[in-house]
Amino acid sequence: MAVTLTENAAAHVKRHLARRGKGVGLRVGVRTSGCSGLAYRLEYADAVNPDDLEFESHGVKVVVDAKSLPYLDGTELDYAREGLNEGFRFRNPNVKDQCGCGESFNV
C-alpha cells in the first residue's frame, strides 16, 4: 500500500513547499467529478488528519486520506513537461477508463 513520487517529482514538490514557506508535505486524493467519475486532488498538506495515511518518498511526506487510498494504491506521481506545460502526472494502475481530458477516470 503506497503512493510514491519519482525523484524528479519529489524535487519539484520540495521546491514548491520551500517557496510557499509552510506545509508538512503533499496531499493526494480523489474526488467525484468530471465525465468518468473521479478526479485527482493535489494539494499542499498543512496537517495530517486522523484518518490520513502517510508515505515517505524521496524525502517528501505524501498524505492520502483513507477513502481515497483504494483508488490510488500503487500510484506513482511524476513531473513532466508537455510542450509549454509542466506539471504532475499520475501513473495510476487502478485506472480502467479515463476521460479524454485525463482529469477524471474510472476504476
Partner 1 sequence: MALLQIAEPEAASGPREPRRAVGIDLGTTNSLVATVCDGVPRALPDEEGRVLLPSIVRYLPGGGVQVGYEAQAHQGDDPKNTIASVKRLMGRGLKDVARSGNAPYDFVDAPGMVQLRTVAGVKSPVEVSAEILRVLRLRAERALGGPLAGAVVTVPAYFDDAQRQATRDAARLAGLEVLRLLNEPTAAAVAYGLENAAEGVYAVFDLGGGTFDFSVLRLARGVFEVLATAGDAALGGDDFDLRIARWALAQAGLGEPAAKDARRLVLAARAAKERLAQQDETPLVCELADGRRLERVLSRATFERLTADLVDRTLAPVARALRDAGLSPADVKGVVMVGGATRMRHVQRAVAEFFGRAPLNDLDPDQVVALGAAMQANVLAGNRPAGEDWLLLDVIPLSLGIETMGGLVERIIPRNSAIPTARAQEFTTFKDGQTAMSIHVVQGERELVADCRSLARFELRGIPPMPAGAARVRVTFQVDADGLLSVSAREKSSGVEASVAVKPSYGLTESDIERMLRDSVEHAREDAQARALAEARVEGERLAAAVRAAIAADGALLAADERAELERLLAHLDAALPGADTAAIRRAADALNRASEPFAARRMDAAVRRALAGRSLADLDV
**Contact footprint for partner 1 (CB under 8 A):** 13, 16, 26-27, 31-37, 39-46, 80, 82, 85-90, 98-104
Nearer to partner 1, 1 or 42 (CB): 42
Nearest 10 degrees: Cα torsion 51, 64, 1, 72: 130
State which residue, 4 or 104, has the beta carbon closest to partner 1: 104
**Strand, coil or helix: what is 57?**
strand
Find the shortest distance in angstroms from Cβ 5 to partner 1. Answer: 12
Beta-strand relationship, 76-82 and 4-5: parallel
Between CA 75 and CA 77 the distance in angstroms is 7
Would you say 30 or 69 has its CB closer to partner 1? 30
Smallest gap from Cβ 89 to partner 1, in A, equals 6
Give dist(CA 77, CA 37) in Å, integer.
20
- Residue 48 C-beta: closest distance to partner 1, Å: 12
